[in-house]
Amino acid sequence: MPGMDVNGYLARLGLDPEPPGLEALRRLHAAHVERVPYEALEIQLGRPTPLEPSASLARILRGRGGYCYHLNGAFSALLAALGYQVTRHVGGVQGSAADAPNVDGNHLALTVTGLPDSAEAWLVDAGLGDGPHEPLPLREGTYVQGPHTYRLRPSEVAPGGWRFEHDPSGSFTGMDFAPGATQLAGFAAKHEWLSTSPESGFVRVCVIQRRDANGVDCLRALTLDRHGVKELIESPGDWWAAAGDVFGIPAAQFTEEERERLWRQCVAQHEAHVGEKGSEVVPSA
């Protein structure tokens, strides 16, 4: 990506420049999922974001994040600028066991090949929210990272591609991706649907996630789940404190009106989730 601020990106990840290699790739991947949140607050505010990695990078450098197209789009540009052989792939995430495996383009997956110290190809994915903390070798098998166990195997719906099966505790069941390379422009229609459709999960529920070596932090509407310990956020001040303290999202980047709007939407989403259970106290809007 011409004019890319590589040093600024690395500073955002807390890393220094180093030559391509497997351990360097591990550090890049881990730092990205730890420091750059998986979030779609712009969609919640009704302002879909561009697909271009330059736009995603600018947002990341401001302390924000994005979802798969943004995170993996920018990350792939960084890897290429650092000298890695990185390929973008069309993928499909299945949210539940009821969803049939597919490669419908709702996910951008990445692989890295040609490492000087590894003959294998590697799945590199900073855009799965509560997905892997480090790269996974594209070799059939089971892989344990912290409290999560993953499985990789050849895809049954994308010949020559691969299937990632999430830990049973994960927020989705699996992801398939096709073997060939793709361009970000090919995701434009799906990106528009995910950003605007009332049926899109990014539109229906406000979710922020980050991954570290020990587990996952997730803020879903008003429920903050920190490595399996849940609490109900009861005030907008506490919500924005969590956004900043846990996920590194600066509240100062949002106007007072935007902060109030996001809070009201999270309250409404929480009420819709609780429904008629009456098992949780719903904060006042």
Give residue-wise pLDDT tens across range 180-202. Answer: 999 999 999 999 999 999 999 99
Provide the pLDDT for residue 256.
96
Provide the pLDDT for residue 3.
72
Mean pLDDT of the 63-92 span = 97
Task: Check whether 264 has a pLDDT greater than 50.
Answer: yes
Give, for 262, the enclosing helix (H) or strand (E).
Answer: helix 256-274
Judge whether 260 lies within some domain: yes
Judge whether 228 lies within some domain: yes
The answer for residues whose C-beta is within 8 angstroms of residue 32's C-beta and 6 or more apart is 13, 71, 75, 126
Mean pLDDT of the 247-260 span = 96
Judge whether 257 lies within some domain: yes
Mean pLDDT of the 83-105 span = 93
Judge whether 261 lies within some domain: yes
Task: Check whether 67 has a pLDDT greater than 60.
Answer: yes
Judge whether 226 lies within some domain: yes
Task: Check whether 280 has a pLDDT greater than 80.
Answer: no
DSSP assignment letter at 66: B
Phi and psi at 213, nearest 5°, equal -65, -25
Task: Check whether 41 has a pLDDT greater than 80.
Answer: yes
Phi and psi at 167, nearest 5°, equal -60, 145
Judge whether 266 lies within some domain: yes
Mean pLDDT of the 208-231 span = 96
Tokens of 185: 């422009």
Task: Check whether 278 has a pLDDT greater than 70.
Answer: no
Choice between 280 and 180, residue whose per-residue pLDDT is larger: 180
Distance CA 190, CA 180 (A): 18
Provide the pLDDT for residue 98.
83
Mean pLDDT of the 265-282 span = 75
Q: What totals of helices (H) and strands (E) does the chain contain, helices first?
A: 9, 13
Distance CA 9, CA 273 (A): 37
Number of structural domains found in the chain: 1
Mean pLDDT of the 9-23 span = 97
The answer for residues whose C-beta is within 8 angstroms of residue 126's C-beta and 6 or more apart is 29, 32, 33, 36, 71, 72, 75, 110
Q: Which domain holds residue 204?
A: 197-274
CATH number of the structural domain spanning residue 254: 3.30.2140.10
Q: Can you spell out the DSSP letters for 226-262?
A: ETTEEEE--SHHHHHHHHHHTT---GGGS-HHHHHHH
Judge whether 122 lies within some domain: no
Q: How far apart are the first and last CA of the chain?
A: 44
Q: What is the mean pLDDT of the chain?
A: 94
DSSP assignment letter at 87: E
